[in-house]
Structure 1
Amino acid sequence: MLLIRESEDLQKENIFARVEMWRSCLGMQKNGCSEEIRCSRFIFHIGGNKVKTTYRYLFRQITFYLIVFLVIISVNFVIIHSMPGDPLLNILGENEYTYLLQKRPETLQQMYVEYGLDGSFFQQYLRFLSKTLRLDFGYSYVRAARVTDVVFSHLGWTLLLTVPSILIAAVTGAVLGVFCGWRQGRLEKILTPLFVFLNSVPTYCLGILALFYVAFQARLFPIGGMASAYTTGLARIADILWHMVLPVSLLAISKSAYNYLIMKNSVTMIKNENYMLVAKAKGLSERRLLCKHLMRNALLPYITNVFMQFGHAMAGVMTLETVFSWKGMGKLMADSAATKDYQVLQLSFMLLCACVMTFNILSDLICHIVDPRIKSEDVVA
């Protein structure tokens, strides 16, 4: 007992020695001078610094992402228009295309002009930029409909899979990550290698396995599609929800694995920080340590990660849509690539890039507002 008490007293002395060291560091700021205080991975320059306003920070981020967006859509245009094959050949078929080329070339040339496929590569690019700035994305020459109508009609079905899965993954990853990071016991030893494995497996591989074993052999869920034929009203809504269960569950499991690892690592690092040791030395309850001290700091990188996941999940869900024959953006882009439907492909890529960058801006803005450490221009990570 005497040895235990001596070790506890020694631990408390070490904690209070660290506190005194930090107080002495904070006391070095005198007469407006700037001193460096190293805290974990950050270096703060105290005194004489001009704090960036939120509006200025937001303006800089939006300007940067607009430039990135312009570069991305330009590269997107080059890649799509460099695809081999003639789009009109896919539209008309080989026989009709050969007939028009030999007998009525003026009609074929008129169709090139109508579909915006005439002129040099650079002229097509300038025409593409001009129409993009006017939000005029033209018509789909394969589906004979406006491109915006085609794309946004498929976008809703993609969001129907993405939004529930991200929300489920955010809650599941946070709860399991906090519990296993704080109480590293038997459950943590089971979940960590399991989630590391699930995080490394592509979602479409999980989809193929689930489709074969769960839907085909066990017949627990529909094999594919969005709804059964000849269903209407509430029965159709229930049928769509039933078809959603398997793809949403797989996407939620895949994202929960990554969220769990992020939250668990954050909790593991933060619980050994100096301020947590000081709070323990003060005799605070475990509930107060978790809610007031640990969660405040652990949730910041986690929220940033969840916002970024919304954008990236839009791209990741497309392969899963192809596996489950879900008529969302993934299947639309696969069909458009096969038929050389340039307009639909261009708007689809632009929309995905816009989603990723929008959620990146939101995550950066939340970090800037919530975390005071990044509000100074002199913070060095």
Structure 2
Amino acid sequence: MTRAEQAIALWQAGVAAVDGYTATRKALSDVAKPDRILAVGKPAAAMARAALDHFGDIPTLVVTKDDHGRDLPEGVDVIEASHPVPDSRSLAGGRALRLAVEAMPAEAHLLLLVSGGASSLAEDLIGGKTLEDLEALNKKLLSEGLDITAMNAERRKISLVKGGGLLSRLKGRKVTVLAISDVPGDDLNVIGSGIGALPEQVSYEAEAQIIASNAHARAAAAEAAADAGLSVLANEEALHDDYQAVATALGEKLRQMGSGVMVFGGEPTVVLPPNPGQGGRNQALALALAHEISGLEGITVVVGGTDGTDGPTNAAGGVVSGSTWAEGADEALAAANSGAFLENAGALLVTGPTGTNVMDLIVAIRD
């Protein structure tokens, strides 16, 4: 196994530990059988499949990203929508979720499965707002380098279903919310802009649980490294800043790194130019880290979104070493075209949908 293959294997061990199917199935051992299942987010299909395998045939609606609604039993209602910028299907998904909640009878138990990506994938707008308003808001938020908490606060202002709005419509007896966290602090009011958050006043029994997070993924990657006989030199949530600032801070640690493995998690931000090229925040960070370790031997860094996608691309991130940085890299970073550079260098990390979403994960390994 090459150093790059080993680094990717450790990254994948972290992601596998927070798989939506596994995490949901484990959490259901203490959950009573529901009358309705609603699942929303990038890993929604995997979470719903776990619930159906556990409970059997239950009316189920899944709202998820394009090409993420696979391997579900017949009879499951699936709405796939656009991410990271919403489209008309996002409005259909949000409206379907709202109508499903409103239609539940008084004695019903709702199982709501929530995960990252829901902010774009499901929306039901307040009066006076249109799809064009929603698209413009999301493009603006994505280009300004805001963190996820600030972005989701703005999204909640124009939504009927975010910030506790969805569950404010429940007239049933009970709701159980299981959430996979893609936000710092694992706050249910922030995950999916609070689409699974409880309203201030409820007239029903409510239980909510975070079933997978970035901390779980990092711990699993570190454990896999230790099991392989490698020294774990760091395990930190250290990516919550502009990607260039993150690269500078991590670059110093990587240059001083001894033999072993470092694991980092979180979610960097990026300010986009007017006409961005190919890539996302993880590809940009991977290329920026390639500059920081340029010329160093024996070191490989894997940077990837745990959901298997990065921005509007089908890559999760990048796999870089001391020899990745080359002519044209500066221009690619400046033009937000890091993905094209990494692709030409054979340095993209491509995994396909992973069935989870717990922010981003970095694994660095040095001989």
Greater per-residue helix proportion: 1
Query: Where on the TM-score scale, by shorter chain, does this alignment land: which range?
Result: under 0.3
TM-score (norm 1): 0.24
Question: Which has more radius of gyration?
Answer: 1
> Relative CO higher for 1 or 2, CA cutoff 8 Å, sep ≥ 6?
1
Greater per-residue strand proportion: 2
